[in-house]
């Protein structure tokens, strides 16, 4: 969502004549747009700010912090970070050209006027702004913004405000433009993407309509909440040839008491039942998840329930996070962050080890088969190798000498080897393992 928001910001600034450079030495303005979900994102911004201090001592420079971080840390950033000139929250990007122009003029006059726009809106969806997209095979499209779920650990409802959905006509028009520009894949975005609702349109209808757009070969969506999976949505995923057979289904915990404290609105049993419904419709749907470990008051026995449920469901992959207390959230106000750091770390390690074993087993089951891959480009490790994703979002790597391909092509790739994170069209030397 932050990448997508940066594309919106680029578009809004370009319209007003701002020009972009990747070289920060040449920049008059440096903007940081980042997430505030966990402590490490927060720390990264502070370390970048420390770097910029040296540049700002030597020459005029306007520094701006955008998005969730600006929203969440407005007092802290304005009072304790004299370096920051402009703050613009996720609903205030339209004001950014004016804020930056005024900050540049203020510096020219030797003044230190701050620009601050952090009001949240109940209506802003940037429906009329065409994002200035990065090249590639995938185009992000936000279909809704904000979140009304108030999971107790999560800062999103405070940084991004109330849920609001875009008009489906605008979304479908955008998907048609994306197809005309040559993108092969669309990823529909929203904090709680499957609670999308606009008049009589729900998310299943929208997903199907986007997948029907000619030229769009793959449609993905993220992040859904387990509470919003009506049969029509599951059938759209299982049945539509252009909807990817992958569902990211954040579980968070396997303990009912912890799920209750998290305000997740489902139980371990309901979550498991949803997984069974998905798998009974189509056994090849790839399931991935998010898990938080070390949430307030989580006991060893409750952690063991999460471990057992992860082991039982056998997700294809999982993002496993240490609980990180976030300012303003219900958990920060009501529950002490009382699990010691080494205990949190040990629990995360146990889950990561379990998941790595399961991911490796899943991936090994592809050896000897041929998978259909949407080519993304050169692999990170070598220009003589290419990479792409299966329909289930599994990364595949092959030697260019074996298969010649261009980004955007669909190629069949025979799988000869697998790590926990990647399928390979060649056998790797013994002992070479890529971790995820």
**Distance of closest approach, residue 348 Cβ to ligand SAM, in angstroms:** 10
Instruction: Give 20 or 319: the residue with its C-beta nearer to ligand SAM.
Output: 319
Q: What are phi and psi of 263, to 5 degrees?
A: 60, 45
**Distance of closest approach, residue 74 Cβ to ligand SF4, in angstroms:** 20
Give the separation between CA 58 and CA 67, rounded to whole angstroms: 27
Residue in 171, 142, 14, 134 with CA at minimum distance from that of residue 67: 142
- The closest residue (CB) to ligand SAM is 250
Give the separation between CA 190 and CA 297, rounded to whole angstroms: 30
The entry of ligand SF4, ligand SAM, none that residue 323 binds, CB within 5 to 8 Å by partner kind:
ligand SAM
Residue 20, interface with ligand SF4 (CB under 6 A)? no
Stated length of the chain: 436
Residue range at the interface with ligand SAM (CB under 6 A); choices 65-73, 275-283, 318-326, 403-411: 318-326
The entry of ligand SAM, ligand SF4, none that residue 150 binds, CB within 5 to 8 Å by partner kind:
ligand SF4
Instruction: Give 176 or 263: the residue with its C-beta nearer to ligand SAM.
Output: 263
Can you tell me which of 252, 288, 306, 395 binds ligand SAM, judged by CB under 6 A?
252
Give the separation between CA 321 and CA 316, rounded to whole angstroms: 17
Write the DSSP assignment of 76-136 as a string of letters: HHHHH-TT--EEE-TT-GGGHHHHHHHHHHHHHTT----EEE----SS---TTPPP-PPSS
Residue range at the interface with ligand SAM (CB under 6 A); choices 165-173, 322-330, 334-342, 422-430: 322-330
Residue 292, interface with ligand SAM (CB under 6 A)? yes
Give the separation between CA 292 and CA 428, rounded to whole angstroms: 33
Among positions 140-179, residues that touch ligand SF4 (CB under 6 A) are 147, 149-151, 154, 156-157
Instruction: Give 252 or 422: the residue with its C-beta nearer to ligand SF4.
Output: 252
Residue in 164, 352, 354, 320 with CA at minimum distance from that of residue 252: 320
Instruction: Give 249 or 374: the residue with its C-beta nearer to ligand SF4.
Output: 249
Instruction: Give 131 or 157: the residue with its C-beta nearer to ligand SF4.
Output: 157
**Distance of closest approach, residue 293 Cβ to ligand SAM, in angstroms:** 9
**Numbers of helices and strands, H then E, in the chain:** 14, 20
Residue 38, interface with ligand SAM (CB under 6 A)? yes
**Distance of closest approach, residue 225 Cβ to ligand SF4, in angstroms:** 5
- By the 8 A CB rule, do 121 and 161 touch? yes
Among positions 170-199, residues that touch ligand SAM (CB under 6 A) are 191-192
Among positions 185-214, residues that touch ligand SF4 (CB under 6 A) are 191-192
User: To 10 degrees, the CA torsion angle through 409, 285, 223, 289?
Assistant: -120
**Distance of closest approach, residue 224 Cβ to ligand SF4, in angstroms:** 9
Among positions 326-345, residues that touch ligand SAM (CB under 6 A) are 326
The entry of ligand SAM, ligand SF4, none that residue 157 binds, CB within 5 to 8 Å by partner kind:
ligand SF4
Write the DSSP assignment of 259-314 as a string of letters: HHHHT-S--HHHHHHHHHHHHHH-TT-EEEEEEEES-TT--HHHHHHHHHHHHHHT
Separation in Å, CA 325 to CA 154, 161, 212, 275, 380: 9, 19, 42, 29, 33
Residue 250, interface with ligand SAM (CB under 6 A)? yes
Residue 226, interface with ligand SF4 (CB under 6 A)? no
DSSP state of 421: S
Instruction: Give 288 or 379: the residue with its C-beta nearer to ligand SAM.
Output: 288
Instruction: Give 107 or 265: the residue with its C-beta nearer to ligand SF4.
Output: 265
Q: Mutual orientation of helices 168-180 and 203-211 as an angle, nearest 10°? A: 20
Chain residues binding ligand SF4 by CB under 6 A are 147, 149-151, 154, 156-157, 191-192, 225
Give the binding site for ligand SAM (CB under 6 A): 37-38, 153-154, 156, 191-192, 223, 225, 250, 252, 290, 292, 321, 323-324, 326
């Amino acid at each position: 969502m932050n990448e997508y928001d940066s594309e919106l910001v680029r578009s809004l600034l370009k319209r007003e004549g701002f020009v972009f450079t990747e070289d920060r030495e040449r920049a008059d303005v440096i903007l940081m747009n980042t997430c505030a979900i966990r402590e490490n994102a927060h720390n990264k911004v502070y370390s970048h700010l420390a770097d910029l201090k040296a540049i700002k001592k030597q020459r005029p420079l306007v520094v701006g912090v955008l998005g969730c971080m600006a929203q969440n840390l407005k007092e802290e950033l304005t009072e304790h970070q004299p370096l920051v000139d402009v703050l613009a929250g996720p609903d205030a990007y339209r004001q950014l050209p004016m804020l930056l122009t005024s900050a540049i003029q203020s510096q020219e006059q030797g003044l230190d006027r701050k620009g601050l726009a952090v009001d949240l809106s109940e209506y802003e969806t940037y429906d009329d702004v065409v994002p200035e997209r990065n090249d590639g095979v995938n185009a992000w499209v936000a279909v809704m913004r904000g979140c009304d779920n108030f999971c107790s650990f999560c800062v999103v409802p405070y940084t991004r405000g109330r849920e609001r959905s875009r008009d489906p006509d605008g979304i479908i028009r955008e998907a048609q433009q994306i197809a005309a520009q040559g993108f092969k894949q669309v990823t529909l975005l929203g904090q709680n993407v499957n609670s999308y609702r606009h008049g009589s349109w729900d998310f299943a209808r929208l997903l199907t309509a986007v997948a029907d757009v000619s030229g769009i070969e793959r449609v993905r969506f993220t992040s859904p909440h387990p509470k919003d999976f009506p049969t029509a949505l599951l059938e759209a995923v299982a049945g539509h040839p252009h909807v990817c057979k992958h569902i990211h289904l954040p579980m968070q915990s396997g303990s009912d008491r912890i799920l209750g404290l998290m305000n997740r609105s489902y139980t371990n049993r309901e979550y498991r039942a949803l997984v069974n419904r998905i798998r009974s419709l189509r056994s090849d749907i790839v399931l991935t998840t998010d898990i938080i470990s070390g949430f307030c008051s989580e006991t060893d026995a409750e952690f063991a329930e999460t471990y057992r449920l992860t082991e039982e469901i056998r997700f294809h992959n999982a993002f496993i996070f240490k609980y990180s207390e976030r300012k303003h959230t219900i958990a920060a106000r009501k529950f002490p962050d009382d699990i010691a750091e080494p205990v949190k770390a040990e629990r995360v390690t146990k889950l990561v080890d379990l998941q790595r074993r399961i991911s490796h087993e899943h991936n090994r089951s592809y050896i000897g088969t041929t998978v259909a891959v949407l080519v993304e480009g050169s692999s990170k490790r070598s220009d003589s190798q290419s990479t792409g994703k299966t329909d289930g979002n599994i990364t595949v790597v092959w030697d260019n000498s074996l298969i010649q391909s261009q980004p955007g092509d669909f190629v069949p790739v025979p799988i000869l080897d697998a790590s926990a994170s990647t399928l390979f069209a060649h056998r790797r030397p013994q002992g070479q393992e890529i971790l995820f």
